[in-house]
Structure 1
């Protein structure tokens, strides 16, 4: 009897320890770790977590105070809908880019372009679904998480060139992990609004002049290689058709996902809407596309992504600039996040 009593007590103790160590619900863990504003936001409309392994980006309380002072974030900082909340939830990591020239999505060789190392970034598919998201059939809005120079923790890239810094280690809950960030995420906008937000007026005006903005905004899964304002200078004598051709050399369309920076690998060649090949060269973890250096990238839009480059593209053979050629004005990633440029789109991947 005494032995049985001891076994019962031991069983109860073991059960209590197990319960104490078991991950708790999302709202409970958020509140216990000081994310009270985000917890309030989710109480009314929390996305349904059907599968385990979810990553939840949790903004600090201070992020909501700062967010309400900006036009872009004011709507998101209030009592956001469940649809908007779902942007903060990711349940899938997209580690590979499907190369159409390798035989289609069902061909295993088409999946040869995987992310190079975890330190160079990850593409995550969120729970955000909307008719405005046009990233290929059945694909939700994505986020990009990657390291930036001189930062010990990665940054999360969302809409309008906005970045949010990861501020600490993952915190487990019963359906995944909470990843703390210092700023609100931004819903990607369309081409026109994003260009205005980023201040890239030269590229925006050129797209308007060429008469291709509407078509670009209605094309899915695009990658835009947008020259910065400092280098975007074109002859005023160009006809509308000539201008459109120049712009199309900076636009790539994919049948799957856009070319986010974690998927840019050395030796990858894609064709632009203008018909020229663009080859990727990686040197010292910096990507060059036909010799143009990516100054800042992963500015997300509803139908793709924009990478800012330091010169206009042409059909020339790609080269890596010399040290003197690539000496550019130093820009912090925070500055680049506000000056990264806007986007354009296209119709067919012309391999």
Structure 2
């Protein structure tokens, strides 16, 4: 049974309210009636949560669930993949009791109950990013979709509950994330590298991937356009750290990390800007199912591991000698489909709630699938 196998073991937080989770949910029925209907049809789910200690529940409001299910882009994959509902609900339960006063302007990455290997290959469970954003407690999930707390600190015996305005999105794999984020040159480079590398990356647990933007590849178009598949593999492996998920808050000045290709990359942190060798991170902490992606403005060169950043300027010279770019040329994009949806990770824009959602049916059928899917939790 999924929830019982994922129950946290931390002790009950001192001073928590004596109310049960069911009591708190019932008291907020005008805002959480859709969620209450989902859970009341399977009261054992609430009991499992009620019996847990030291947890935080992110409860989507009626408007959040309505927006989620009415999205015309949502697919009917839940019919063929009912485990998606279980995973989605697990992703809304955080390990630890997190009151709004615990959050600051600095991001923290909180593990959730989502540890099903079909959806998460991260030690301790898939995370959400959390921080204050314009004085509002905000959570970021897949593709930098943001979810804001609309009502906070509804305490129950096992922890606390926050009502949120958007349903969290489960992070996808590296390839689907590159496509959705319009990082088409990197996606094309992976295709040129071949299935061996793609399969290897998909199977790794706990990875950090530095993904060059399209403009970063365009800046070395005259060189990259002539690479063999073997050369592409060598370059891409220099962009991957295996065995550790280095969220941006963990990257420290003048430190190094070994890459999948063996050579070390060097980190520089200057006035809050993070550089990897000579490339700067332009979009931090894009979550994927087995780790994290950071979008960078330059392609890293495994033959130039001493490349230094230009910390005083807005851009850096390519790490490849003789790079001149091309005339509106972006290498590796021939035949790569351009996504119809754009998300913040595509351009380094400010995070927005318009990120891609987990695919679900729309309208009444979607609600029926949600209610039916809840029963599945008790049998896994």
* Alignment deviations for residues 307-335 of structure 1 (CA, whole Å, 9 cap, x no partner): 11222223234435224438xx8832329
Structure 1 Cα separation of the partners of residues 111 and 94 of structure 2 = 6
The alignment partner of 1:29 has SS state of helix
Aligned length: 286
Check conservation: 1:231, 1:311, Cα contact below 8 A. Answer: yes
After superposition, give the CA deviation of every residue in 1:55-76 in whole Å (9 maximum; x if it has no partner): 1112222111221205458768
Partners of 1:91 and 1:141 lie apart in 2 by 11
User: Aligned pair in 2 of structure 1 residues 92, 22: CA closer, same or farther (>3 Å)?
Assistant: closer
Please provide the CA RMSD for this pair.
3.1
Rg larger in structure: 1
Q: 2:329 is matched with which residue?
A: none
Higher relative contact order (CA 8 A, sep 6+): 2
Matches within 5 A, 1:61-100: 61-68=62-69, 69=71, 71=73, 81-92=85-96
Secondary structure of the 2:63 match is helix
- Tell me the residue number matched to 1:123: 109
Gap change, CA 1:285 and 1:31, over 3 Å in 2: farther
User: Structure 1: which 5+ runs fail to align?
Assistant: 1-20, 94-116, 339-351
Q: Unmatched 5+ residue regions in structure 2?
A: 1-15, 98-102, 317-346, 357-380
Question: For 1:15-34, what aligned pairs fall within 5 Å after superposition?
Answer: 22-33=17-28, 34=31
Shift in Å at residue 252 of structure 1? 0.7
- Assess, with a 3 A threshold, how the Cα gap between structure 1 residues 300 and 48 changes in structure 2: closer, same or farther: farther
Identify if the C-alpha distance between structure 1 residues 152 and 120 changes in structure 2 by more than 3 Å, giving closer, same or farther.
Answer: same
**For residue 247 of structure 1, what is the aligned residue in structure 2?**
236
Distance 2:310 2:136 in 1: 29
Deviations 1:230-283 (A, max 9, x none): 2223422101111111111111112xx411223223333212112332222223
Q: Does the aligned pair in 2 maintain the 1:72–1:186 contact within 8 Å?
A: no
Q: Does 1:219 align with 2:204?
A: yes
1:125–1:332 Cα change, 3 Å:
closer
* 1:54 CA drift (Å): 0.7
* 1:165 counterpart = 2:154: no
**Post-superposition offset of 1:285:** 2.8
Distance (whole Å) between structure 1 residues aligned to residue 217 and residue 299 of structure 2: 7
Distance 1:280 1:262 in 2: 12
Q: TM-score, normalised by structure 1?
A: 0.71
Give the direction of change, closer, same or farther, for the CA distance of 1:169–1:198 in structure 2 (3 Å limit). Answer: same
